[in-house]
Structure 1
């Protein structure tokens, strides 16, 4: 039999060759670290469902932020967990609410050295756990929720957020937030739109991370996992309303959606993807049971998200990965 004339394996032969011809590369600045700060804590509290992730105190949040910045991580996305919750999420807009205090802490500690992002959603602050204000029949009132989002955006901007992350999937949320920011002169504060956010089962561990009070689900406002083309419509609306960046969430189960958005010539803003809690927990759990090589799985999962088109990746491994990349360690 004739020997092959084409030998693609030549370009896979050594680590040095593979590095030279790699088409997809991770960089620390591509990564954003999601962080949780809880008002009632006096010391950090580990999350059982997300090994290595904690709910922070204000002091430990500052220390962890300094570590992340030193590692070269590109940004921080902050979630707040208040002591008191009510039907409209009042703590989300109070200047002394935990999220706004934490943003101010970080702006003073690392402001200018990183991109400070704030989750703009009511689910952590409401006693019912939904992302908006409820009507009498229990459904989320889209337009009443937009007013709360406007107020949240102004409060987060005043506290020091560079970007506000509109994650609630209310119709018109980006336009409402942009108008509110502009009305108070906060024209430099950007809007990081969760453009395509799906009603995923993989959010499970996040419920522990924010002490979620949710009963039921969010399928009446987050996107149906069965649908693909509506993601482009959602993203197009967000860009038209003034989004500065757009995100696909979750990442790993929605790489087709991510590739659609990132490859769309009409999308002229940076595209991000969020490797969510369940995606993180699956890899950690499988590795803990000896079923997979943890380090390789972490790197492979992040590479797949970048390969699909994400310019920015939110991941709970951001600091670890950034440190190893900066150290030139092999995976």
Structure 2
């Protein structure tokens, strides 16, 4: 039987910052963090994103500079999102050899070597003129199986340009299997896949659609992204992706789905990522600017919560800032 007050005094271990650090159950480290980055074709200088203060659409040169800054701070990885100058119904820029993402990948591969993991978001929404994640039928609906062929082609193009990890985010049925088969057939059997396996149809993505210029021209993405009411479904999606060949899995968004992160962590024995999305970032920045929250404490608390829930890897727009602060 455990001791009781006055013998048991848990506050003894909370008395000083040094003691609290020593007995902390959950820790943040720069290597746990992945920085999402936007690169836009044709920009002359970095373009600030109004709904995400401190985040930019990058030029090729500014992307390289920001990537160096992140890596020097110890950030474990980067994930690239590209915005092409020209969009079309098939998202042709997504797998073009000289497309915006492939060009950026070659730049970063040359600059960074193996200093950090360079991931690529693998989807079509940034590249299609209709803003949806896949090809459309004549009736304006997503053609799941035809989209898989496009994803397979994009994966090979990204691999050839130097991606360390490809991360399919479209939530198409069978996407991981199609991508794995394409990568293996093209001579990239060792390239890992990070599945956006439990991705919800969330209201928290609003600022991202400004950043990536990918808001749907009509309709929404509820036919392929998950219903926020469902958690069991996430486990099914996770297990399907692992059966198809995913090496890591992701829950997105993070903050409103910590219960899902915990359930996934308890279910699988592969690395689990969670994406602290644009809306989470924007809310904290807005509240801090109004003096309603202590900015740094809130950022740190939000990230610790994601790690405590069981995420091994956290995608966050604060990755560089937090990594620099942890190094102090």
When the two structures are superposed, what TM-score results if normalisation uses the length of structure 1?
0.97
Task: Determine if the alignment matches structure 1 residue 79 to structure 2 residue 76.
Answer: no
1:7 Cα deviation from its structure 2 partner: 1.4
Aligned equivalent of 1:187: 189
1:269 Cα deviation from its structure 2 partner: 1.1
Aligned pairs (5 A) from 1:81-100: 81-100=83-102
Task: Determine if the alignment matches structure 1 residue 256 to structure 2 residue 282.
Answer: no
Matches of 1:211 and 1:134 in 2, distance apart? 19
Contact 1:121–1:149 under 8 Å retained in 2? yes
Aligned pairs (5 A) from 1:135-174: 135-174=137-176
1:15 Cα deviation from its structure 2 partner: 0.3
Matches of 1:171 and 1:124 in 2, distance apart? 20
Matched residue SS, 1:263? helix
Matches of 1:278 and 1:302 in 2, distance apart? 14
Aligned pairs (5 A) from 1:101-140: 101-140=103-142
1:3 Cα deviation from its structure 2 partner: 6.5
Matches of 2:86 and 2:110 in 1, distance apart? 26
Task: Determine if the alignment matches structure 1 residue 234 to structure 2 residue 232.
Answer: no
Matched residue SS, 1:128? coil
Task: Choose from 5, 8, 13 the match for 1:6.
Answer: 8
CA distances 1:61-104 after superposition (whole Å, capped 9, x unpaired): 01111111100000000000001000010000100111111111
Contact 1:100–1:155 under 8 Å retained in 2? yes
Matches of 2:156 and 2:145 in 1, distance apart? 17
Q: Which runs of 5+ in 1 are unaligned?
A: none
Contact 1:32–1:318 under 8 Å retained in 2? yes
Matches of 1:158 and 1:59 in 2, distance apart? 21
CA distances 1:20-68 after superposition (whole Å, capped 9, x unpaired): 1100000000000000000020100001000110000001001111111
Contact 1:127–1:213 under 8 Å retained in 2? no
1:213 Cα deviation from its structure 2 partner: 4.1
Matches of 1:140 and 1:159 in 2, distance apart? 28
After TM superposition, which residue ranges in structure 1, 4 or more long, deviate above 4 angstroms?
none
Matches of 1:5 and 1:161 in 2, distance apart? 57
Aligned equivalent of 1:289: 290
Task: Flag the 1:287–1:188 CA change in 2: closer, same or farther, 3 A.
Answer: same
Aligned equivalent of 2:309: 308
When the two structures are superposed, what TM-score results if normalisation uses the length of structure 2?
0.97
Contact 1:178–1:242 under 8 Å retained in 2? yes
Matches of 2:265 and 2:226 in 1, distance apart? 18
1:216 Cα deviation from its structure 2 partner: 2.2
Matches of 1:286 and 1:46 in 2, distance apart? 19
Aligned equivalent of 2:269: 268
Matched residue SS, 1:104? helix
Matched residue SS, 2:180? helix
Aligned equivalent of 1:68: 70
**RMSD value over aligned CA atoms?**
1.0
Matches of 2:71 and 2:151 in 1, distance apart? 28
Q: Which runs of 5+ in 2 are unaligned?
A: none
Matched residue SS, 1:186? coil
1:111 Cα deviation from its structure 2 partner: 2.4
Aligned pairs (5 A) from 1:12-23: 12-23=14-25
Matches of 2:151 and 2:280 in 1, distance apart? 28
Matches of 2:114 and 2:5 in 1, distance apart? 59
- Size of the aligned set, in residue pairs, is 324
